[in-house]
Amino acid sequence: MSKSLAESYIIVVEDDPNDQLITLGLLRLGGANRCFCRRSVDLAISFAEKLPQVDLFLVDINMPDRSGYELLAEVRTNDQFKSAYVVALTAGTSSREVEKARELGFDGFLSKPLKPTAFSSQVQEILEGEAIWDRR
């Protein structure tokens, strides 16, 4: 069942403060009201467990300590998040990285820098069950 940006719980997992501001700003401009940002996998999972639901994780792949791949593995084994989408949001855009994300089970891939005019529409499409694989 699809949800609108306004009613969806979205967690951005991003260690770069500038990328956090840009991503949250674009989500809010697109109408998201329940979007949150955490700078690490551990903080994101711990925060997500306290929410009534999580509809989407937008996760940077390359972060210190634990990677976006590790977040994906943890989310996929947690019953609380069984219906959540997990989308890579990363600057690493080689075809090998995109294929690895597909193989490991990400629901999509959005390249940084984000496309300001398209980003909120892309996220809405993901929330509607569309697989977005946007590689620059």
What are the mean pLDDT values of the chain's consecutive 10-residue runs (136 residues total)? 88 97 96 97 97 97 92 96 95 84 95 93 95 84
pLDDT of the residue at 96: 87
The helices-and-strands tally (H runs, E runs) of the chain is 5, 6
pLDDT of the residue at 1: 56
Domains, in order of start, for the chain: 5-128 (3.40.50.2300)
pLDDT of the residue at 24: 97
